Amino acid sequence: MPLDEFREEGFLVMKKPIGNNEVRILEKAGEEAESSLIIGARASLQAIYDAPAYQDLFHRTLGQSICWDERTTVTVDQVVHSPSLAPQWIAALLALGARVVISDEEGGSSILSEHLQHNIAERGKLVTLRLPIEMPGRLLGEAHLARTPGDEPIVAAIAAVDLVDNRVRQARLGLTGVWKEPVGLAQAARSLEGELLTKELIQQVSEEVKLEVNPVSDFRGSADYRREMSAVVARRALETCMKGVD
C-alpha cells in the first residue's frame, strides 16, 4: 500500500512516505483531519522518547525502567509484537487510540488494540503507528506503583479522556500488571462517556476496574494485591485528568 494514498479516520494523506526508522509529525491541513504523530516500524524507542509530541507521557512510560541502551536498540516493531518489552508505553498507545498500518493487500489501518489480540504476522508487515495529536479537550493521566523509582512498575495506568463541553466524549484506560497479558484496555472507562468527570464517578469506575481485571501472582505481587492496586492507579490516573478540567 503506498503510504501517500492513506486517508482514514481523520488522518491526513502522506505526501512523502515516512522512512521505516523515522518519527514525524504530520501537520493538520483543513477541517477534515487532525495532526498526527507518525512512527516508523523500525524507529527505536529512543527516537520516540525524543519525539516532539507527548514528551511527558513518553518519558514517564519509557524512562521509568527502560535504560538508554535498551531504548536505542529495541524497535517499535519488536515492542508491538512483544508488549512485555515496554508495557507502559503500549498502555499509553492504547489510551491515545493508536492505529497501526500493515502492508497487507487490504490497505488502510486498524486500532492497535485489535492487533494485540491477534498475530500481526498473519496479516502483513507493520509499516507505521499513527497517533492523533493536538486533540482539543484531551486530558492525560498516568499513575504507577513500583518498589523503587527505577523498578518496572508492578501495576500502572494510563488514562486519556476527551471532553466536549466538559462532558466525556471518549475515555480510554490502559493498564499493565493486572492481566495474564502484559497490557490491556479497561472497559470500565467507557462508563465515563457522556458524563461529567467527577471524583464520585472516578471512584465508581475504579471499583469497576477492580472487578474487571484478572491478575496473576508473581514474586513482585500477589493477584489480590494487583487487583486492589488496579483500582488505586486507575483512580489516580483519572484524577490527574480531572485536574485539567476548566
For 216-231, what is each residue's pLDDT tens digit?
Answer: 999 999 999 999 999 9
Our CA dihedral for 128, 131, 133, 138, rounded to 10 degrees, sits at 180
Place of cell 490527574: 240
List, in order, residues 6 or more apart from 145 with CB less than 8 Å away: 153, 154, 155, 156, 229, 232, 233
Give mean pLDDT, residues 74-98: 94
pLDDT value at 12 more than 80: no
pTM recorded for the entire structure:
0.88
Of residues 65 and 182, more confidently modeled:
182
Which runs of consecutive H residues, i.e. helices, occur in the chain?
45-49, 55-63, 68-73, 76-81, 87-96, 112-115, 199-212, 223-242
The DSSP result for 148-210, as a single string, is STTSPPSEEEEEEEEEETTEEEEEEEEEESSSSSSEEE-GGGGGGTTSB--HHHHHHHHHHHH
Of residues 238 and 117, more confidently modeled:
238
* Domains defined for the chain, CATH in brackets: 3-132 (3.30.465.10), 138-242 (3.30.390.50)
Of all residues in the chain, what percent carry a pLDDT higher than 70?
84
User: Are the beta carbons of 175 and 230 closer than 8 angstroms?
Assistant: yes
